[in-house]
Chains A and B, each alone.
Chain A
Amino acid sequence: MDIQPIHPAPTAFLPRYVFSKDHKYIAKQFLWAGLLFLAFGGSLAMMIRWQWAYPGEPMPIFGSLFLSKTGGVITAGLYPSLFTMHGLIMIFFAITPILIGAFGNWTIPLMIGARDMAFPTLNMLSFWTFLVSQMLMVASFFMQMGAGAAGWTTYPPLSDSVGTPGWGQTLVVAAIFVTGVATIMGGINYITTVIRCRAPGMTWGRLPLTVWAMWLTAILNVLFVPVLGSAGLLLLLDRLFGTQFFIAGASAVNGGGDPLVFQHLFWIFGHPEVYILILPAWGIICDLVSFFSRKPAYWYKGSVYAMTAVTILSAVVYGHHMFVTGMNPMLGRTFMTFTFFISVPAEVLFLNWLHTMWHGSIRLTTPMLFVLGAIFVFGLGGLTGLFLGTISTDLYLHDTMFVVGHFHLTMAAASFLASFAAIYFWFPKMFGRQMNQTLGKAHFWFSAVFITLVFCGQLIAGYAGQQRRLFDPYQYTFLHQLLPLNRWTSICAFVLGASQFLFVYNFVVSIFAGAKATDNPWEVGTLDWATASPPPYHNFDKVPHVQRGPHEYSDPEVKKALGRDWIGQWEEMPGGTPAQAAPKLAAEGSHG
């Protein structure tokens, strides 16, 4: 009695290699698209850092390639587009496709024992819709008045037709709308698949925490991305059809639109969005910490409750982005209180991770190193959030580099490192080969150390009072002395950027010439490792019957019976029989 019967793989070129409905293939499409735009967004960051380190000087390499019109120099006119597009690209076109598009698609069906997503056609459409949005984003760069330039937050009136005229900003808003549609399509798929397509025996309490995280992320996506859609839609109407939702009159004038409404809509989306970007990372961390400590995940239910609590609370804290907008003080105090509450589930998660490691048998593999790095940076970044969620300290710190340092440590650094943990971990399953572990570890050390230095540098600059989004901070008397700090931070950023080539080389070469991987090189018990590397088109020859949870490591009973420190979710526990190899659920080489 198979929930999803086996169907043959398509043989023609287009349905197999372009418009594939196979979640595994779509996952790889998202991964490539995401990595490409990660490089793009990262390059924009390098340009921003160049301007702060060597203001007014021509930039090497990038200058001659992209800035020839201005002699290689970054101008005040270009600068707003740099930070705007950097933010939008990194959030919507890099982290989202990698963590959610690629790893959501890859892990969910395999880890729950399904043959594919609930709606494979919808899955294929979601990738192609996403690609269209990427194209719109790229197109905005070629518009006469430049790309979007109102900050990733796109606040009107600056982002309205009055503040930033031209097709560039319009295309950017349209791109965000379209990527939102793609995200919702994916979200519908993920939620339905986890509810409806679990293998027999895969109860909610036996789901890997990665799946829990992806599922909660999808719920947040489905509920709150449409709110961004509504904000974007109203902004587009203002820009294209002359409506007056967000255009306000001059001072002390009644009537006209209200720019504050955009901020409410944006942050009702925006705060859940940061949890959308970190929840997959948290889930992956939860699982990998257990896998590589060879110990069950400490208080599994607590982690689930914590992630669920964060999901629910994420919508009611959004006002902490708006403390200085002149909102009603009662409302401000309420948002501050809820913001303090939302720190508690994160504390529980941290304690669970730390306790899982304690008295474990830790294997410092490449994925584990990245996971530890992610815990490190998220701990640092999360703690800095305390200063920003508190109104009185936020009055000083709002819109300074302290905010930038905070969200980069939590959102960028933690998700960035967790993404690489996922890539190094699932690479053998995805491509049937192993990446070079020495290069991987080198990549880790460079990335973790320099990413910490860069964003700590930003925290310090913000503490000293430097505002965000300044083309030339040194115009201000009180910031004159920060040039050495900013220069040092930039140099760390350049090293960080350059060290990513360790990964690029490793990734590309290993796909074609890496050592062949076994089915379960990490000796891990989740269902995805029960099948071949890479899995056949239909994932499992025989749909597994789940016997236990995903974190059964170092069970003395298992050691006695099977002679190893792990047992798969699908394995029958022999009653005192001699050690046997884990049964394969799919023949190698039968992949599509």
Chain B
Amino acid sequence: MKRLHAVWTFALALGLSATAFATPLANPGWGLPQDASVDGYRVDWLIHSTMFFVVLLFVIMVIWMAIACTAHGRKHEAKYEHGDGRKQITMALSISALIFFVVDGNLFYHAMTDIGERFWNFSYAEAQPGAVRIEINAHQWAWQARYAGPDGKFNTQDDVVTLNDVRVPLGAPAIFELASTDVIHSFYLPNFRTKQDAMPGMINKLWFEPKETGEFDIGCAQHCGINHYKMKALLTVLPRADYERWLKEASANSARAWDPADTIAHWGWAWTNPKPIEGDEPLPAAATAQAATPSHQEGI
């Protein structure tokens, strides 16, 4: 009876977990939003592999409880044991250790590599040819984006500044530096599986590399006041040629319209030094030469 219980429990648990793992990745409906990022699969895979384990463990637990309540109910005679024998303690600790090393271990390993190789590896992003740098200034309740323009320097006459309209080219990383004029906002890109807070008094960074063209949502993910729910912007991924064309034209337009007296509009800052993190690839010479002095140390 006991062995049969165990077999059925495990089979059911395995079946449900496999279903969970096989959950369709793309929308519509209740699934993850469309994955438009080169590295998005890492997050999706980790979510689904963990979901497999989570469902497995949860179903085992529920079936265990169900069998206990039915087969070991009022009519069953309870076993007088305290569970503090050496064998029992070893068993309990071994099961815990197994779960810890398998499930938590999987999460730990992949998270460390995912953030170390990609998500928080800004030197890698900066080193890719054609990487685009964009400065984001968050307000209550809109997103401004600034492009350096042909001269490669921020806060100059040829900068392109947009409102709620971020355009990036396909085939290269888009690197963002985030700031806020008032309260904390959070630059959220659901289709690229990433977000980062825009903190007043600090400059935060985020990057991704798109893998397909299209229009995607940018959302605010940190409560920032009454219109937090409306603080959306549009991210457009364009083919490289279209992007370059747009940037050139927009830059020429803004150079013509540039007003030296409008200091509020000149909110840009010198791009901060990409700081190498241990284990990351080394900084290429070009990136260090171009960077200006950092304007603010990273907080704790």
Inter-chain contact total with CB atoms closer than 8 Å: 322
Give the residue of B57, B64, B69, B220 whose beta carbon is less than 8 angstroms from that of A467.
B220
B88 CB within 8 Å of chain A: yes
Contacts of A375 in B (CB 8 A): 65
Say if the beta carbon of B151 comes within 8 Å of chain A. no
Q: Which of B28, B50, B92 contacts A481, CB < 8 Å? A: B28
Q: Are B73 and A299 interface neighbours, CB within 8 A?
A: no
| Bound form: Cα–Cα A391–B119 in Å | 10
**A250 with B115, Cβ < 8 A, contacts A300-B84, A392-B110 known:** no
Residues B46 and A393 in contact, CB atoms below 8 Å apart: yes
Whether A340 touches B196, Cβ cut-off 8 Å, given contacts A299-B83, A361-B76, A464-B32, is no
A372 near B203: Cβ-Cβ < 8 Å: no
Q: How far is the CA of A344 from the CA of B92 in the complex (A)?
A: 11
Report if B254 contacts A (CB, 8 A): no
Chain A residues with CB under 8 A of B298: 326-328
Choice from B95, B200, B223 contacting A249 with Cβ under 8 Å: B200
Whether the Cβ atoms of A354 and B197 lie closer than 8 Å is: no
Report the interface size for chain B: residues with CB under 8 A from the other chain: 101
A475 in the interface (beta carbon within 8 A) = yes
Q: Verify B42–A392 contact, CB threshold 8 A.
A: yes
The distance from the CB of B125 to the nearest CB of chain A, in whole angstroms, is: 14
Task: Check B27 against A481 for contact (C-beta < 8 Å).
Answer: yes
- Bound together, the chains give a CA A296 to CA B81 distance in angstroms of 6
> B112 interface residue, CB < 8 Å from A?
yes
**Count class of interface residues, chain A:** 35 or more
A233-251 Cβ-contact flags toward B at 8 Å (1 or 0): 0000000000000001111
Query: Is A294 an interface position by the 8 A CB rule?
Result: yes
Whether A250 touches B181, Cβ cut-off 8 Å, given contacts A295-B80, A392-B110, A469-B228, is yes
With A379-B61, A554-B80 already in contact, the answer to whether A251 and B267 are too (CB < 8 A) is: yes
Inter-chain contact A359/B111, CB cutoff 8 Å: no
Taking a contact as CB atoms under 8 Å apart, the answer to whether B201 and A248 are in contact is yes
Is residue A260 contacting chain B, with contact meaning CB distance below 8 A? yes
Q: Is the CB of A390 within 8 A of B186?
A: no
CB-CB nearest in chain B for A551: B82
9 nearest A-B residue pairs (beta carbon): A248-B201, A251-B179, A298-B83, A326-B204, A392-B114, A554-B78, A361-B78, A465-B190, A248-B200
B173 to chain A, nearest CB (A): 16
In the complex, per-residue mask of A396-430: 1 if CB is within 8 Å of any chain B CB, else 0: 10111000000000000000000000000000000
Q: Is A358's beta carbon under 8 Å from chain B?
A: yes
Given known A-B contacts A76-B226, A251-B269, A299 and B92 have beta carbons under 8 A apart: yes
A56 on the B face (CB < 8 A): no
By a CB distance below 8 angstroms, the chain B residues around A151 are 223
> Any chain B CB within 8 A of the CB of A351?
yes
Does chain A have a CB within 8 A of B31?
A: yes
* Cα distance A153–B60 in the bound complex, in angstroms: 36
Say whether, besides A80-B225, A251-B267, A361 and B29 are in contact (CB < 8 Å): no
A295–B78 CB distance below 8 A: yes
Query: Is B182 interfacial (CB 8 A cutoff)?
Result: yes
Report B's interface with A, CB cutoff 8 A: 27-33, 42-43, 46-47, 50, 54, 57-58, 61-62, 64-65, 68-69, 72-84, 88-89, 92-93, 95-97, 99-100, 103-104, 107-108, 110-112, 114-115, 119-120, 137, 179-184, 186, 188, 190-191, 193-197, 199-205, 216-217, 219-230, 232, 267, 269, 277-278, 295-296, 298-300
B201 touches A340 (CB 8 A): no
Chain B residue nearest in CB terms to A253: B201
- A362 lies within 8 A of B183 (CB): no
Are A362's CB and B72's CB within 8 A? yes
Instruction: Tell me the residues in window 239-295 of chain A with beta carbons closer than 8 Å to chain B beta carbons.
Output: 248-254, 256-260, 264, 293-295
A329 vs B204: C-alpha distance in the bound complex, in angstroms? 12
Determine if A295 and B111 form an interchain contact, defined as CB atoms under 8 angstroms apart: no
- A sample of 11 more A-B contacts (CB under 8 A), given A163-B183, A326-B199, is A158-B184, A158-B225, A163-B182, A293-B78, A300-B82, A329-B120, A330-B278, A359-B72, A360-B76, A391-B115, A485-B30
Q: Which residues of A contact B92 (CB under 8 A)?
A: 299, 302, 348, 351-352, 355
- Residues of A431-489 whose CB lies within 8 A of B: 460, 463-465, 467-473, 475-478, 481-482, 485
Query: Given A333-B112, A348-B92, A481-B27: A372 and B72 within 8 A (CB)?
Result: no
In this complex, which of A299, A333, A340, A350 has the most chain B Cβ atoms within 10 angstroms of its Cβ? A299
B78/A360 in contact, CB under 8 A: yes
- List B contacts of A295 (CB < 8 A): 78-81
* A343/B100 contact (C-beta < 8 A), A259-B201, A384-B54, A396-B194 known: yes
A294 contact set on B, CB distance < 8 A: 78
